[in-house]
Amino acid sequence: MTNQTKQVVINSPLDMHLHFREGAMAQTVIPLTSHAFAGGVIMPNLVPVVDNLERLTGYLQEIKTNVGQDVFEPYMTVFFKNYTYQELEQLKPYILGVKLYPAGVTTNSENGVAALNHAEATIKYLEELEIPLLVHGETHGFVMDREKLFLPIFEHLAQKFPQLKIIMEHITTAEAISLLDRYENIYATVTLHHLIITLDDLAGGLLRPHLFCKPIPKRPEDRAALLDAAIKAHPKLMFGSDSAPHPLDKKEACGCAAGIFTAPIALQALVELFDRHQAIANLQAFVSDHAQRIYGIQPPQKSVTLVATPFKVPSMYGTVTPMFANQEISWSIARIDTAISCSL
Ligand code: DOR
Ligand code: ZN
């Protein structure tokens, strides 16, 4: 960054956890990510879920169509079920990992894992095949404690499967950060919104449905621990937006769907946040380098230049309201350079 021009260049930014959906929603949201990011990890909680090769390759094709000419690598996942060794062997070339949802903890997770001990044969295969396990780590306990109550399960898995890479997805608590330092094979993603908001922002005043997500945002001390780890570039922590679009009528509803839509503002808001904490120098590691090392991936070359020019966030993208709708973020994307093209 040069101080005169206030400009930041991020090389091959990666979003290691996001929801692209299908159909018209996918058409709206995919280009917003594929414009700004060089790659992203695509979640499989569709209806029906992505849990076999045919469904996976069909979905990948739909994603590629919507990515169009953008330089963007979709890193695919499949929904955890009791796969055979052969099925996983077949899937391996197409996926970055397998995503485990405890049954019923979030959107479209009804067919997730109900009893972990019945899942361990498949988890053993993942370890043998060196396929990472990505986990939505929440129990059915009291909503503020669900992640904390799940942490012993992470410890059990880390000990029982020492060669398995385990990624705690979208962590929200100080206790989860401490696990990163205790188990060599545990890693984590953290979202933008959990670095910024607490439960107060969601429900402390008027109820803000567009800030409602799972896991629920936690206490100021949790946010502080997450932010500290992110801005200091904890080597086992990666950026994953968990951008989760739902149409307006599902958010502003009696029975609001969980999910915050951050895809179009994620990179700009991350620069703003790291800049505010004098941590711009660590953003590259958080938003790309750590993920490359942890997963052993080499994303396409793409330099994204951001400048300190305000970006007025639109109120809607299609049917979806983004985080910071109608507000200003003090950074915007100025140019994108790829190995084959330059564009403003
Ligand atoms: O808030 C969330 N929305 N959390 C999840 O775990 C799933 C996601 C979605 O798919 O809408
Ligand atoms: Zn998610």
- The owner of tokens 């299609």 is 318
How many structural domains does the chain have? Answer: 1
| DSSP string for 271-303 | HHHHHHTT-GGGHHIIIIIHHHHHHT--PPPEE
> Cis before residue 93, ω within 30 degrees of 0?
no
Give the Å distance between the CA of 331 and the centre of ligand 1: 27
Q: Measured from the CA of 169, which atom of ligand 1 is nearest? A: 6
Please name the residues in contact with 329: beta carbons below 8 A apart, sequence gap of 6 or more.
265, 268, 269, 272, 310, 311, 313
Coil, helix or strand for 58?
helix
- pLDDT for residue 99 is more than 70: yes
Structure tokens at 67: 């990515």
- pLDDT for residue 9 is more than 80: yes
Give the Å distance between the CA of 281 and the centre of ligand 1: 30
Give residue ranges with CB within 6 A of ligand 1. Answer: 19, 45, 106-107, 136, 213-214, 242, 244, 258-259
Q: Measured from the CA of 260, which atom of ligand 1 is nearest? A: 1
Query: Taking the CA of residue 150 as centre, how many other CA atoms within 13 Å lie in the half-sphere pointing to its CB?
Result: 25
Domain extent for 171:
14-299
> Cis before residue 310, ω within 30 degrees of 0?
no
- Read off the pLDDT of residues 134-149 as tens digits, 9 standing for 90 and up: 999 999 999 999 999 9
For ligand 1, atom 4, the nearest C-alpha belongs to 214
Percent of the chain with pLDDT over 70: 97
Report if residue 287 sits inside a domain.
yes
Handedness of CA 300, 98, 182, 172 (dihedral sign): positive
- Span 326-340, average pLDDT: 94
Give the pLDDT of residue 340. Answer: 66
Helix axis angle, 23-36 to 53-67, nearest 10°: 60
- Read off the pLDDT of residues 12-43 as tens digits, 9 standing for 90 and up: 999 999 999 999 999 999 999 999 999 999 99
Report if residue 238 sits inside a domain.
yes
- pLDDT for residue 160 is more than 60: yes
Report if residue 331 sits inside a domain.
no
Q: Measured from the CA of 136, which atom of ligand 1 is nearest? A: 6
Amino acid present at 249 = D
Report if residue 343 sits inside a domain.
no
Q: Which member of 51, 242, 275, 289 is catalytic?
A: 242
Q: What is the CATH number of the domain that holds 276?
A: 3.20.20.140
Give the pLDDT of residue 112. Answer: 95
Give the pLDDT of residue 63. Answer: 99
For ligand 1, atom 10, the nearest C-alpha belongs to 107
Give the pLDDT of residue 341. Answer: 55
- Read off the pLDDT of residues 261-306 as tens digits, 9 standing for 90 and up: 999 999 999 999 999 999 999 999 999 999 999 999 999 999 999 9
Give the Å distance between the CA of 44 and the centre of ligand 2: 9
- Residue 107: pLDDT band (50, 70, 90) is confident
Give the pLDDT of residue 308. Answer: 97
Report if residue 325 sits inside a domain.
no
For ligand 1, atom 7, the nearest C-alpha belongs to 107
Report if residue 8 sits inside a domain.
no
Radius of gyration for the chain, computed over Cα atoms and rounded to the nearest angstrom? 19
- pLDDT for residue 231 is more than 70: yes
Give the pLDDT of residue 183. Answer: 98
- pLDDT for residue 178 is more than 80: yes
- DSSP classification of residue 113: B
- pLDDT for residue 3 is more than 60: no
Going edge to edge, which strands form the sheet with 186-190?
14-18, 39-42, 73-79, 95-100, 133-135, 166-168, 186-190, 237-239
Using alpha carbons, select from 9, 15, 7 the residue that is nearest to residue 290: 15
- Residue 339: pLDDT band (50, 70, 90) is confident
Give the Å distance between the CA of 136 and the centre of ligand 1: 10
- The owner of tokens 């260049």 is 9
Report if residue 335 sits inside a domain.
no
Report if residue 294 sits inside a domain.
yes
CB 211 within 8 A of CB 322: no
Q: Does the pTM of the predicted model rise above 0.85?
A: yes
Q: Is 289 a catalytic residue?
A: no
